[in-house]
Amino acid sequence: MAAVLCLALLALALLASVMFGSRPTSAGDVLRVVTGGGDAYTRTVIESRYPRTALGVLAGLCLAVAGTLMQGITRNPLAEPGLLGINAGASASIVAATAFLGASGQRETIWWALIGALVTGVVVHVVGTAGGGGGTVRLVLAGAVLSAVLAAFIQAVALSKPQVFDTYRYWVVGALGGRGFDAFWAVLPFAAVGLVLALLLAPGLNAMAMGDDKAASLGISPARVKGAGLLAATLLAAAATAAVGPIAFVGLAVPHLVRALVGADFRAQILLTSLAGPTLLLFADVIGRIVLRPQELMVGVVTAFVGAPALLFAVRRMRGAG
């Protein structure tokens, strides 16, 4: 039942994403264009919305599944992909490439963001698990420290070089618009590997939910599951951040909503977050296009407003559980 509901909402979000924009169009217009009809102007308008819709689906899926993995691995209901410093790493890489290597253009930005996000995730994982001690606490601290260092670097470079700041301030908000299918295809392989790995790890995460000792007695290696889970979360979050910029709260809010529907089974959680994440992000993007029409409110701003109540809800649940 939950899967049917999520599928229906996703279909509605997909329709809304190609219907609404600075120029309103109807469902009939969309149907005519999809079937090869419609006038040239309407066809151009609707087809221009296809890339942002595809990116919304991909980024929403990546962020939501990465959040589910992070919350499962750390057993922290407030965990999200930013915990690994992914956003800071991507941002720092773009700033450095723009300032010192003369990088420009969407394609270069995507690849530098992807490299920075992946490298940061790996460094946080290595530092956070060095010596085999510290558990998730050390991982969280490593992510926080590296994010703070990179944030200081970003501020120092961006404020001293105005042209870098202009590039950075547009990218850092997070938006689906202004990007083409090349961004989608560039990050799709990383997203696909991360999603497949997440699905394969679901049984191990279910076992770990009963405790590391219980998981070990069932033949599951907690260290391997955590390591592979962090790798999958890094790939997913890096793909999303590189494609559309850092978008907050999707990786936090969606796992909570899905967990309320299907319980603690990570197999069901990962499958449903793959549907619910794109739905939330696409609806947020549609809201951003409508509220200031003909101007546009970037989706990263909208998700912050949506995610804040989810954060408060999570804190209240933690207080009640304690």
**Interatomic CA distance for residues 223 and 65, integer angstroms:** 20
3-state SS class at 175: coil
- Beta-carbon contacts of residue 154 (< 8 Å; ≥ 6 apart): 88, 91, 92, 95, 168
Question: Which CATH superfamily, name and number, covers 56-321?
Answer: ABC transporter involved in vitamin B12 uptake, BtuC (1.10.3470.10)
Q: pLDDT for 238-294, tens place per residue?
A: 899 989 988 988 998 899 889 888 888 999 999 999 999 999 999 999 999 998 887
% of the chain residues with pLDDT over 70? 94
| Residue 245 Cα distances to 125, 198, 236, 241, 262, angstroms | 22, 22, 13, 4, 30
Residue 321 — very low, low, confident or very high, per pLDDT cuts 50/70/90?
Answer: low
Using CB atoms within 10 Å of the CB of residue 224, give its burial: 0 to 12 exposed, 13 to 18 middle, 19+ buried: exposed
Fill in the amino acid letter for 197. Answer: L
* pLDDT above 90: residue 202: yes
Question: Which residue, among 128, 136, 143, has the nearest Cα to 72 in the 3D structure?
Answer: 136
- Separation CA 118–CA 236 (nearest Å): 10
Structural domain boundaries in the chain: 56-321
Higher-scoring residue by pLDDT: 78, 253: 253
Measured CA to CA, the distance from residue 201 to residue 70 in angstroms comes to 12
pLDDT class of 201 with cuts at 50, 70, 90: very high
pLDDT at 310: 63
**CB-CB neighbours of 35 under 10 Å:** 8
CA angle 314, 10, 259 (to 5 degrees): 30
**Mean predicted confidence (pLDDT) in 14-31:** 88
Contact 303, 247 (CB under 8 A): yes
Which DSSP state fits 83?
A: G
Name 133's Cβ contacts closer than 8 Å, sequence gap at least 6: none
The tens digit of pLDDT for each residue in 299-318 reads 988 988 876 776 676 566 65
Higher-confidence residue of 174 and 104: namely 174
Return the amino acid letter for 114: L
Mean local confidence (pLDDT), 224-236: 90
Tokens standing for 97?
């490439």
pLDDT at 106 (0 to 100): 72
Say how far apart CA 301 and CA 290 lie, in whole Å.
14
What is the pLDDT averaged over residues 161-190? 84
For residues 251 and 82, the model is more confident at 251
| pLDDT score at 133 | 54
Instruction: Tell me the CA distances in angstroms from 322 to 81, 214, 225, 261, 310, one per residue in order.
Output: 25, 23, 27, 22, 18
Q: Which pLDDT value is given to residue 19?
A: 92
